[in-house]
Structure 1
Amino acid sequence: MALDASSRALIHRLARDYLVRHRRGIVLAILCTLLLAGLTALYPIVIQQGFDRFSRGDASIAWLIPPVIIAVTCLKALAQYGQAVAVQAVVLRVIEGLQNDLFHALTRADLASVAGEAPARQASRFTVDAAAIREALTKSINGAADILTVIGLIASMVWLDWQMSLIAAVMYPIAVVPILRLGKRIRRASGGMQERMGETAAQLAESFGAARVVRAYRLEAQEEARAARTFAGLREALYGIARTRASLDPMLEALGGLAVAAVLAFVGWRVAAGQGTVGEFTGFVAALLIASRPVRALGSLNAALQEGLAGLSRVFAVMDRPRRVQEAPDAVALPAGRGRVEFDAVGFRYEGGADAALAGLSFTAEPGETVALVGPSGAGKSTALALVPRLHDVTAGAVRLDGADVRGVTLASLRDAIAYVGQDAVIFDDTAFANIACGRPGATQAEVEAAARAAAAHDFIAALPQGYATSLGTGGGRLSGGQKQRVALARALLRDPRVLLLDEATSALDAENEALVAAALARLRQGRTTLVIAHRLATVREADRIVVMQDGRAVEQGSHAALMAADGLYARLVRTQFGVAEPAPAG
């Protein structure tokens, strides 16, 4: 089976990085495979001996043939079971290793590369691509067993009658060229099919996630039409592969029939000439028929292998994707400090973006200060916040924490010093305890409860059916919006960070929940440097300093009173929010 250089490289990497970890399982599979191939090849010999003994009237030996056949069959069944179990044990562990490494790569990939692709499309690599790789790997290992079986049967046929073996040997190699051509077509089609699968999963996730909007705007028919087009594209992709693969077995079946017919014609001529024995003929035909299954399996192996290689190529491409945010080789731990954050002429441009998201942004948040970032949508506020924990890296200037450029310190020490609370609280499908404790792994029950009390979350968590051991459901389905936000705040409190990043943490809450969360936030901000994005004036007024941003730049800085007195962009934003002019402060 001819493989191009890229295919050989993929197979070599799979063997080097994954298969070699399971040598014992592979050795067991090989032993069972050798036993299975040997016993299968023994069948025609036993049949030949049986027929020849009976035809000669050698009853003293002939009666042993049925027990021998039973023994061979039982041993073959045991070997077949052992081989199947050993192969699956190896294959599934390899797939598990691939999935773990793929997940590791995605969780550590640049935020921009992960956020730029639909989650459902990412998830399809763990299911669709993994299934293709699993099938290819299983068939490849089984293919080795089939090759050994065919070699053993060929040896049996040559031993029984070498002239008839030549006839059979001429037929099957004819199928090699079309099989290889079909394999290439399947590999190309598999790439398109995997894309369609990813698109389908992404579109379904999007549609179901927008169920409320779909019903409110009566978009059911539009979504159904969009889904129908997606399903039609998927059907065409799957049908193309199915049609190509479906041609393999009939072709091999026809060639097998031609081989049997040719052998029978030759045998008829030999019987007419008085050559050969009934046992030899029967054993040879039995070997030929037994060989048809492994030969057909080898014929379809190339198709499965090409699909698996296509999936493997996509998985390795994700693993090998270069990261822009990487730890410097000489990175050091973040120096001790109280959380001084400095933006020094920071510039940032998203990959492929036409305009810079930030340009010459400069401001300083002193230890313990609360600095609010305000400005119109698209001003770059969230982008600026994301640069502090290095979710992105600056393209100009520097962000410093306690005097150290964040690009020069280890990611672990940097991110351990920071806590983030966003507008949409992230709640994992786990217990209330686990959701808070992930802020500081290893925290005790008492520490988690203390953080929950400080975040005004203890009472409603204690009232859950199993208290802190209650699973909060997917996306925190058991909790209200305000409760989810307070769990997120408890997580941040438990982390005890130097720097707190708040991105619209109260904007989605009603007045009552906002008051509760605001009180928890006030406790959380004490003694910590806080960068907060907020549109609500009540939140902004509490800030020690306000940085007004526009087009990625800081156009104004100062207190609420000073900025109102300056009557610039900030004052206009305040008047727009309230619809009235706020009086300038006295003095």
Structure 2
Amino acid sequence: MAVLPADPTTRALIRRLVRCYLARHRRGILLAVLCTAALAGLTALYPIVIQQGFDRFTAKDADLAWQLPLVIVVVTLAKALAQYGQAVAVQAVVLRVIEALQGDLFRALTRADLATVVRDAPARHATKFTVDAAAIREALTKSINGAADILTVLGLVASMVWLDWQMSLIAACLYPIAVVPILRLGKRIRRASGGMQERMGETAAQLTESFAAARVVRAYRLEAQEEARATATFARLRESLLGIARTRASLDPMLEALGGVAVAAVLGFVGWRVSTGQGTVGEFTGFVAALLIASRPVRALGSLNAALQEGLAGLSRVFAVVDAPRRIADAPGAPPLPAGRGRVEFDGVGFHYEGTPDKALAGLSFVAEPGQTVALVGPSGAGKSTALALVPRLYDATAGALRLDGADVRAVTLASLRDAIAYVGQDAVIFDDTAFANIACGRPGATREQVEAAARAAAAHDFLAGLPQGYDTILGPGGGRLSGGQKQRVSLARALLRDPRVLLLDEATSALDAENEALVQAALARLRQGRTTLVIAHRLATVREADRIVVMQDGRAVEQGTHAGLMAQDGLYARLVRTQAFDSTEPVRA
């Protein structure tokens, strides 16, 4: 029989699971308990029915012979009904608990700091919702079913004691011997489970990476290399799974052997007693039946600890994510962002990524006045994307201050800050939802008229209205129904609907053809009107249109000014233009 380890961490995990998740489903648990009690009681009746049948079927009671099959049929039908009710009730509770855990896990990852989320590949996060959830589900199911097995064993023990207490002692002395190895095996399984989950996450991450890079793999003839990597990963996963399988596989044979020894000992003792006239055939048959019936729930209880340890390992990983502290959070008593027109000020801003000694930004200072378009330019690694990420507090500056309309962004509520900002990147993010939902998420609660107005301003209305179900058409994973230019215009419509004070652009036209670029540029011009815009510029045309150009190098603003003024300075910006660092077919001119 399984015994819960005394590990305080284990007890804390179980208490939290019961208090925060299982306690919500008292009715379902009560139904499962009632069905479980009925199932255990009816199972315990079998040996007594058998004993009574053998002992009563004498010549003078031959007229009662027809009653035994009828009693067995009634007991069996009642047991089947209780078994069905118990299985359904248990799964209803377990699946609701898993659903709640998955919801809390997803909520935690969705609201976690960006640095926490990007630390692992998306596929590694996904395994927590599948592999870990499956382990927790199995552990919960077996644990609740374990209650039925315990009641069944207790009922059968009572039947055996009622039939013959001396034979019961012989059987009872053997099974406790299995407790020590069961607990030791459980600890080994828990340790091995952690390694197995890592291998599962590693495998999922590598497969996702390999399939996402399908074009590069074929273009560079990397098929053999990817196959070798996959083979090594599959081998490590196989070793992890085989290690757990070996440990778990040793449980049932051990319990089977103990059960065989118990049955042999009982048979020997009972045979001696019957031969000396100290017992009846009915008692012998009923007792052996009870012993054999008890073997299944006892084996199930023996394997419960293994499943429980795997489930606890998965539960520990889930709670570790749920409990991870958030660094990007509202300061105590933080007020909302004050009213303003979108003045953005970088005041000696410094930043470095966790675990990286080199600074991404160092003393970055510039101001974007309300309504201005400020272009951030510079060589790769200059810190342009990092600077943009600090405005909506995807990361927090480690030095200096970043202010929006005079308020330090770290001192106001995240909700009010992010409601004032819209972001459009090179790769349009389209959700597997309707066109309406993809635009409306820019402003929850927006009406259809507002969504269509934003789509018209972004030059997206015509092609969206032409879809099979119009704005109610599901756009597919990644917006598979749309072209690149159409996706970008949908993302621009989303930003227009948001009506932000500050617009962050990571050159939204750099990956488009000339025709689509013209349409998107026109939409962007409308989007920038009256708003402060920070744009990472990859095209010379965008840079020239900017009110201010901030030239960045090594995380600092080394030059600032207009295109003409910077060309006249003949510094880094002028060199970038002359070396065609910007994508442009226009002639270079000061």
Q: Normalising by the residue count of structure 1, what TM-score does the alignment of the two structures yield?
A: 0.98
Q: Does 1:244 align with 2:247?
A: yes
For residues 74 and 395 of structure 1, the distance between their equivalents in structure 2, rounded to whole angstroms, comes to 70
Query: Matches of residues 76-155 of structure 1 in structure 2 within 5 Å?
Result: 76-155=79-158
Counterpart of 1:415, as a letter, is: R
Residue 329 of structure 1 corresponds to 332
For residues 217 and 66 of structure 2, the distance between their equivalents in structure 1, rounded to whole angstroms, comes to 77
Instruction: Give identity over the alignment, percent.
Output: 85
Using the TM superposition, give the Cα deviation of residue 9 of structure 1 relative to its aligned residue in structure 2, in angstroms.
1.1
Counterpart of 1:159, as a letter, is: W
Residue 538 of structure 1 corresponds to 541
Using the TM superposition, give the Cα deviation of residue 65 of structure 1 relative to its aligned residue in structure 2, in angstroms.
2.6
Secondary structure of 2:362's counterpart equals strand
Residue 71 of structure 1 corresponds to 74
Determine which of 326, 340, 343 is the counterpart of 1:340: 343
User: Is contact 2:351–2:360 with CA below 8 Å preserved after alignment?
Assistant: yes
Residue 411 of structure 1 corresponds to 414
Residue 204 of structure 1 corresponds to 207
Residue 273 of structure 1 corresponds to 276
For residues 518 and 583 of structure 1, the distance between their equivalents in structure 2, rounded to whole angstroms, comes to 22
Using the TM superposition, give the Cα deviation of residue 62 of structure 1 relative to its aligned residue in structure 2, in angstroms.
4.7
Q: Does 1:493 align with 2:496?
A: yes
Determine which of 470, 474, 481 is the counterpart of 1:471: 474
For residues 581 and 84 of structure 2, the distance between their equivalents in structure 1, rounded to whole angstroms, comes to 76
Deviations 1:518-567, CA, capped at 9 Å, x for gaps:
11100000000101001211001111111111111111111111111111
Q: Normalising by the residue count of structure 2, what TM-score does the alignment of the two structures yield?
A: 0.97
Residue 46 of structure 2 corresponds to 43
Using the TM superposition, give the Cα deviation of residue 59 of structure 1 relative to its aligned residue in structure 2, in angstroms.
3.8
Q: Does 1:441 align with 2:444?
A: yes
Total equivalences in the alignment: 584
For residues 95 and 163 of structure 2, the distance between their equivalents in structure 1, rounded to whole angstroms, comes to 40
Deviations 1:5-41, CA, capped at 9 Å, x for gaps:
1111111111111000111101110111111111111
For residues 25 and 589 of structure 2, the distance between their equivalents in structure 1, rounded to whole angstroms, comes to 75
In structure 2, the CA distance between the partners of 1:298 and 1:60, relative to structure 1 (3 Å rule), is same
Residue 365 of structure 2 corresponds to 362
Query: Matches of residues 239-318 of structure 1 in structure 2 within 5 Å?
Result: 239-318=242-321
Using the TM superposition, give the Cα deviation of residue 58 of structure 1 relative to its aligned residue in structure 2, in angstroms.
2.4
Secondary structure of 2:58's counterpart equals helix
Q: Does 1:176 align with 2:204?
A: no
Secondary structure of 1:501's counterpart equals strand
Residue 453 of structure 2 corresponds to 450
For residues 510 and 198 of structure 1, the distance between their equivalents in structure 2, rounded to whole angstroms, comes to 38
Using the TM superposition, give the Cα deviation of residue 181 of structure 1 relative to its aligned residue in structure 2, in angstroms.
1.0
Query: Matches of residues 352-391 of structure 1 in structure 2 within 5 Å?
Result: 352-391=355-394
Determine which of 483, 487, 495 is the counterpart of 1:484: 487
For residues 168 and 182 of structure 1, the distance between their equivalents in structure 2, rounded to whole angstroms, comes to 23
Counterpart of 1:277, as a letter, is: T
For residues 210 and 298 of structure 2, the distance between their equivalents in structure 1, rounded to whole angstroms, comes to 46
Deviations 1:419-466, CA, capped at 9 Å, x for gaps:
000011001111111111111111111111111111111111122222
Using the TM superposition, give the Cα deviation of residue 56 of structure 1 relative to its aligned residue in structure 2, in angstroms.
6.4
Q: Does 1:20 align with 2:53?
A: no
User: Is contact 2:4–2:305 with CA below 8 Å preserved after alignment?
Assistant: no
Secondary structure of 2:202's counterpart equals helix
Note the aligned Cα RMSD (angstroms).
1.3
Counterpart of 1:501, as a letter, is: L
Residue 461 of structure 1 corresponds to 464
Counterpart of 2:295, as a letter, is: S
Secondary structure of 1:376's counterpart equals coil
Determine which of 47, 53, 58 is the counterpart of 1:55: 58
Counterpart of 2:285, as a letter, is: T
For residues 242 and 199 of structure 1, the distance between their equivalents in structure 2, rounded to whole angstroms, comes to 20
Secondary structure of 1:361's counterpart equals strand
Using the TM superposition, give the Cα deviation of residue 510 of structure 1 relative to its aligned residue in structure 2, in angstroms.
1.6
Residue 193 of structure 2 corresponds to 190
Secondary structure of 2:580's counterpart equals helix
Secondary structure of 1:58's counterpart equals helix
For residues 324 and 116 of structure 1, the distance between their equivalents in structure 2, rounded to whole angstroms, comes to 15
User: Is contact 1:575–1:581 with CA below 8 Å preserved after alignment?
Assistant: no
Residue 401 of structure 2 corresponds to 398
Residue 161 of structure 1 corresponds to 164
For residues 583 and 577 of structure 1, the distance between their equivalents in structure 2, rounded to whole angstroms, comes to 12
Determine which of 29, 33, 38 is the counterpart of 1:30: 33
Secondary structure of 1:577's counterpart equals coil
Using the TM superposition, give the Cα deviation of residue 581 of structure 1 relative to its aligned residue in structure 2, in angstroms.
8.8
Residue 556 of structure 2 corresponds to 553
Residue 218 of structure 2 corresponds to 215
For residues 181 and 141 of structure 2, the distance between their equivalents in structure 1, rounded to whole angstroms, comes to 23
User: Is contact 2:274–2:281 with CA below 8 Å preserved after alignment?
Assistant: no
Counterpart of 2:484, as a letter, is: G
Counterpart of 1:65, as a letter, is: L
Deviations 1:95-153, CA, capped at 9 Å, x for gaps:
00000000000000010110121001100000000000000000000001100110110
User: Is contact 2:29–2:89 with CA below 8 Å preserved after alignment?
Assistant: yes
In structure 2, the CA distance between the partners of 1:287 and 1:578, relative to structure 1 (3 Å rule), is closer
Secondary structure of 1:57's counterpart equals helix
Determine which of 501, 511, 526 is the counterpart of 1:508: 511
In structure 2, the CA distance between the partners of 1:224 and 1:346, relative to structure 1 (3 Å rule), is same
Deviations 1:251-288, CA, capped at 9 Å, x for gaps:
11111111111001001111121111111111101100
Deviations 1:143-170, CA, capped at 9 Å, x for gaps:
0110011011001100100000011001
Gaps of 5+ in 2: none
Using the TM superposition, give the Cα deviation of residue 232 of structure 1 relative to its aligned residue in structure 2, in angstroms.
0.9
Deviations 1:161-220, CA, capped at 9 Å, x for gaps:
000001100111111111111111111111111111111111110010001111111111
For residues 174 and 101 of structure 1, the distance between their equivalents in structure 2, rounded to whole angstroms, comes to 41
User: Is contact 1:132–1:307 with CA below 8 Å preserved after alignment?
Assistant: yes
Counterpart of 1:37, as a letter, is: A
User: Is contact 1:330–1:408 with CA below 8 Å preserved after alignment?
Assistant: no
User: Is contact 1:361–1:552 with CA below 8 Å preserved after alignment?
Assistant: yes
Using the TM superposition, give the Cα deviation of residue 55 of structure 1 relative to its aligned residue in structure 2, in angstroms.
3.4
Q: Does 1:573 align with 2:570?
A: no
